[in-house]
Amino acid sequence: MSETAKLQIDDKTHEFPVVVGSENEHAIDIAKLRAQTGYITLDDGYGNTGSCQSSITYIDGEKGILRYRGIPIEQLAEHSTFVETAWLIIWGHLPTKQELASFRAQLVRHEMLHEGLRQMFDGFPASGHPMAILSAMINAMSCYHPDVMKIEMDDQATFESAAARLLSKVRTIAAASYKTSIGQPIMYPRPEKSYCENFLHMMFSIPNQRYAADPDVAQALNLILILHADHEQNCSTSTVRMVGSSGANLFASCSAGVCALWGPLHGGANVAVLEQLEYLHREKVDLKAFIEESKAKDSNKRLMGFGHRVYKNFDPRANILKAAADKVLKLLKVKDPLLDIARHLEEVALKDSYFVERKLYPNVDFYSGIIMRAMGIPVSMFTVMFAIGRMPGWIANWKEIHDDPNSRISRPRQVYTGPTKRDYVPMDQRG
Ligand code: SDX
């Protein structure tokens, strides 16, 4: 393939370099497009636009491939833990025994919240949305850890403690927001517990009655978090990079990521899927009729948990979660009619030409909620679980920008379509 791409505008041919990635992806480098032609590109939703070159995660949407630092998601789901996968994503290689032990020690050291941060929960109303609380608390962390404000490029020690603080405290904050919402006392982390068991303890223990995490529940939580750990330049990760590109600190950038993830088209979809399944079950809705409604342009109904900007064949994470759903529910002796409805919905949709022609398949959100519900995680916390899982990916993407001496602030252009030049009209002359 050619090293350059040619663009013909009027009678002039312009050439631009072609960039080829390690998996043979080809991109046209248009850094000099406007200087050379006076034109910019326009790409609503950035469906065809690469915002960066990254070595963290690779997705092949046609083949249903997802790899973190080259390792297939299927192998990590089977063999790894969330903490080990987080290290891989952030630092680029599987940790040695020593590196993993040291990282775990960091996570334990940073699991508590400063009492000033903990007291902030007294001000949130019980009805406060946990994603609003999570975003606020992550940003507020920089008030208590000012060293995160200025991490020098070569200062790996400060970055490592900031990353460990964020990855560890996000659990404590999430569990505390849940406890606040149900009027129970906040449970402090237990240093002897693993990452997932500690989270489950903080969520479900009450004073004088400690929740003993079922190992199968902790294992299911590991799987959920591993599958959500990164996903190249999705909406929330791109938000973290956009905010980080201005020099904003790690906590502020990831707090912005939480806000982007909250939307129902993105991380909020796992809540929307559960609500959709509960509605279908409660109202005994005919699935075929519901599918028809989700296809109608004028109905604002979509089949939540279906479709993806990148995956046009299948979402490998959905396949893993679909298989796990059966196993986890059997292990936990949970019979959930919503799983049968989800399966039936998928079966009906995948026989419908509307979905087949548009290459719409179940995505990561379609089955994840059923597993989380079986684990006892409340629906209101589903998107928070997604945020906990995605934290390593956000941290790694922030680091990739922060470590790049040539990184520039993100500042897209636009095509203006508003009023052309007109004069100011004094109030007494306005209609
Ligand atoms: C995540 O980017 C990532 O990697 C995200 C994520 C990650 O790990 O970070 O994978 C996590 O966000 C998964 C997606 C969760 N969202 C949902 O499940 C919400 C439902 N899905 C859709 O809203 C939609 O499929 C998106 C948002 C996921 C993708 O939207 P696109 O790429 O902008 O696609 P589109 O809206 O242009 O749809 C193309 C066509 C349209 O029909 P036509 O105009 O061609 O007639 O497909 C239709 C859409 O109406 N369509 C759907 C549909 N999804 C797309 N129709 C019914 N139900 C759906 N779910």
Closest C-alpha residue for ligand 1 atom 42:
358
307 CA distance to ligand 1 middle (Å): 4
Strand 57-60 with 65-68, pairing: antiparallel
Give the distance (Å) from ligand 1 centre to CA of residue 363.
9
Mutate which of 358, 359, 394 for ligand 1 pocket (most atoms within 8 A of beta carbon): 358
Atom of ligand 1 nearest to the CA of 363: 13
Residue nearest to atom 32 of ligand 1 (CA): 309
DSSP secondary structure string, 172-231?
HHHHHHHHHHTTPPPPPP-TTS-HHHHHHHHHH-BTTB-----HHHHHHHHHHHHHTS--
- Ligand 1 atom 47: the closest Cα is on which residue? 358
Ligand 1 and 265: CB distance under 6 A: yes
Backbone phi, psi, residue 238, to 5°? -65, -35
Interval 249-300: pLDDT, tens:
999 999 999 999 999 999 999 999 999 999 999 999 999 999 999 999 888 8
pLDDT score, position 374: 95
pLDDT at 209: 85
The per-residue pLDDT for range 84-140, each reduced to its tens digit, is: 999 999 999 999 999 999 999 999 999 999 999 999 999 999 999 999 999 999 999
Q: Which helix (H) or strand (E) holds 4?
A: strand 4-9
C-beta 230 within 6 A of ligand 1: no
Give 342 Cα–ligand 1 centroid separation in angstroms: 17
How many angstroms is it from 181 CA to the middle of ligand 1? 31
**Ligand 1 pocket check for 383: Cβ under 6 Å:** no
- Distance between CA atoms of residues 197 and 199, nearest Å: 5
DSSP code per residue over 282-319: HTT--HHHHHHHHH-SSS----TTB--SS-SS--HHHH
- pLDDT tens sequence across 296-347: 988 888 999 999 999 999 999 999 999 999 999 999 999 999 999 999 999 9
Counting Cα atoms < 13 Å in the Cβ hemisphere of 189 gives 26
Residues 6+ apart with CB under 8 A from 269: 304, 305, 363, 365
* Higher pLDDT among residues 210 and 402, named by residue: 402
Alpha-carbon distance 65 to 313, whole Å? 10
Q: CA-based Rg of the chain, rounded to a whole angstrom?
A: 23
Using the atom order of ligand 1, give the atom closest to the CA of residue 267.
Answer: 12
**What is the model's pLDDT at position 2?**
73
- Residue with the smallest CA separation from ligand 1 atom 40 is 358
- The residue among 177, 164, 198 whose CA lies nearest residue 391 is 164
Which residue from 43, 239, 294, 306 has its CB within 8 A of the most atoms of ligand 1, so it is best to mutate? 306
Q: Are 168 and 105 in contact (CB under 8 A)?
A: no
Identify the DSSP state of 418.
S
Q: How far is the CA of 302 from the centre of ligand 1 (A)?
A: 9
Q: List active site positions.
A: 308, 365
Question: Which residues have C-beta within 8 Å of that of residue 93, sequence separation ≥ 6?
Answer: 69
pLDDT at 151: 86
Q: Which long-range contacts (CB under 8 A, 24 or more apart) does 376-382 make?
A: 376/203, 376/204, 376/217, 377/203, 378/178, 379/271, 379/274, 379/275, 380/129, 380/130, 380/178, 380/181, 380/271, 381/130, 381/174, 381/178, 381/203, 382/270, 382/271, 382/274
Q: Decide: pTM greater than 0.85.
A: yes
Ligand 1 site, residue 266, Cβ cutoff 6 A: yes
Continuous segment of H or E residues that includes residue 65: strand 65-68
For residue 4, the cross-strand partners are 17
Q: Which residues pair with 28 in a beta bridge?
A: 18
Q: Is the CB of 306 under 6 A from ligand 1?
A: yes
Confidence of residue 191 (pLDDT cuts 50, 70, 90): very high
Query: 400-431 pLDDT, tens per residue?
Result: 999 999 999 999 999 999 999 999 999 999 98
**Ligand 1, pocket-test mutation among 302, 352, 354, 366, most atoms within 8 A of CB:** 302
The overall average pLDDT reported for the chain is 96
pLDDT of residue 1: 66
Whose CA is closest to atom 14 on ligand 1? Answer: 266
